[in-house]
């Protein structure tokens, strides 16, 4: 007997969506995804080539990329009609052409909120590292050249009482501010919008409408805004020159927010005291001139790299896919908020 139209519809609904995951995810997440969806994994975790990404968007109903995949207009132009959702594993979506996705009717989701605390911890780690010269001290020991304690050796600066300027007072910026208060820093911030009074009071934060004016007065700058067309090189060569020569910059957001060449120059010329960078403009490439400098701490984009965080991110991806596959709007849609 042939299936009725109603049966066909039910069977079509029951068919598991093809989900292509571009990088290796935590075991528990991959296992759950295999149970729920027709999931294709990347077993050796290599970053996908452009050709592989094109093949993926041609086949998938749902793509699960990460920040190492550039999903640009050219790739999306080759997507099959069945690609309806890009469920990004990560919060930043600057590697996805959101406008092109919207034009093709593809929903994009991300994983906000679950990496806030981990990234804020790493921001504090970098602030402490640079201001108190932690990595420099570690390098000294390993070089075998440490000749013992001295009253004037390895002097850093006192954190307590200094001014922290947060660029981007969203979830992560606020979590940084909360921690920084505990270290005795006074909190200042620049944001697209001023926070409501109660939030400013909780953080004891001072709003600076003018980024230029804030930059010129801070001891430490923390970059916590997303990379969007509007924040590309927000810290331009001109703005970097406004910083005090004792200032320190920490970036756990995206490399593109700072003009990396200009930052390298002012670090080399000691026009600022130091920097702590977890992110770079052309990852995974790191400007060789930065590698040669001793007043910068360099980390391999590990701000959110905790086991707990990665599992939480994976669970968010699963919820977004499941909700979408069940015919509802997934909770973490980004397309409307960022365009
Ligand atoms: C993100 O999710 O965008 C983070 O940068 C990953 O660490």
Tens digits of per-residue pLDDT, 6-26?
655 555 556 899 999 999 999
How many angstroms separate the CA atoms of 324 and 332, rounded? Answer: 11
User: Which residues does 39 contact at the CB level (< 8 Å), separation at least 6?
Assistant: 19, 20, 21, 30, 33
Tens digits of per-residue pLDDT, 204-218?
999 999 999 999 999
Is the predicted pLDDT of residue 327 greater than 70, yes or no? yes
Q: Is 200 exposed, middle or buried (0-12, 13-18, 19+ CB in 10 A)?
A: middle
5-114+307-337: CATH number: 3.40.50.720
pLDDT at 10: 53
CATH 3.40.50.720 domain span(s) along the chain:
5-114+307-337, 116-298
Ligand 1 atom closest to the Cα of residue 67 is: 3
pLDDT at 15: 87
Pocket test for ligand 1, best of 91, 116, 311, 317 (most atoms within 8 A of CB): 91
96 ligand 1 Cβ < 6 A: no
pTM for the whole structure = 0.94
Tens digits of per-residue pLDDT, 16-54?
999 999 999 999 999 999 999 999 999 999 999 999 999
Tens digits of per-residue pLDDT, 117-170?
999 999 999 999 999 999 999 999 999 999 999 999 999 999 999 999 999 999
304 ligand 1 Cβ < 6 A: yes
**Residue 339: pLDDT band with limits 50, 70, 90:** very low
| Residue range 81-105: mean pLDDT, rounded | 97
Q: Is 227 a catalytic residue?
A: no
Distance 216 CA to ligand 1 centre (A): 29
- Three-point CA angle 279, 145, 122, nearest 5°: 25
Q: Is 254 a catalytic residue?
A: yes
Per annotation, catalytic residue among 200, 283, 315, 333: 283
Which CATH number is 116-298's, of 3.90.245.10, 3.40.50.720, 3.30.420.40, 3.30.450.20? Answer: 3.40.50.720
């Amino acid at each position: 007997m042939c299936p009725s139209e109603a049966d066909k519809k039910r069977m079509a609904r029951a068919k598991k969506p093809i989900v292509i995951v571009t990088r290796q995810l935590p075991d528990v997440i991959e296992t759950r995804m295999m149970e729920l969806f027709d999931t294709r994994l990347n077993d050796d975790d290599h970053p996908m080539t452009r050709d592989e990404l094109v093949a993926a968007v041609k086949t998938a109903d749902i793509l699960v990329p990460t920040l190492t995949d550039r999903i640009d207009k050219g790739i999306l132009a080759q997507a099959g009609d069945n690609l309806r959702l890009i469920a990004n594993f990560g919060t930043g979506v600057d590697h996805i052409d959101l406008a092109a996705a919207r034009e093709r009717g593809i929903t994009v989701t991300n994983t906000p909120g679950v990496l806030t605390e981990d990234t804020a911890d790493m921001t504090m780690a970098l602030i402490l590292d640079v201001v108190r010269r932690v990595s420099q001290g570690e390098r000294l020991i390993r070089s075998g050249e440490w000749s013992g304690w001295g009253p004037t050796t390895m002097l850093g600066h006192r954190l307590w009482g200094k001014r922290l300027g947060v660029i981007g007072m969203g979830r992560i910026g606020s979590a940084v501010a909360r921690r920084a208060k505990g270290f005795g820093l006074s909190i200042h911030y620049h944001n697209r919008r001023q926070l409501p009074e109660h939030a400013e009071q909780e953080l004891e934060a001072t709003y600076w409408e003018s980024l230029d004016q804030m930059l010129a007065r801070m001891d430490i700058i923390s970059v916590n805004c997303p990379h969007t067309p509007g924040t590309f090189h927000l810290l331009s060569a001109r703005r970097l020159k406004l910083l005090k020569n004792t200032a320190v910059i920490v970036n756990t957001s995206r490399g593109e927010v700072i003009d990396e060449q200009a930052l390298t120059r002012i670090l080399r010329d000691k026009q600022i005291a130091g920097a702590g960078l977890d992110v770079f403009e052309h990852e995974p490439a790191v400007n060789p001139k930065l590698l040669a400098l001793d007043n910068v701490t360099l980390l391999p984009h590990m701000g959110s790299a905790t086991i707990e965080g990665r599992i939480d991110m994976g669970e968010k991806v699963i919820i977004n896919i499941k909700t979408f596959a069940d015919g509802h709007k997934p909770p973490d849609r980004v397309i409307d908020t960022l365009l």
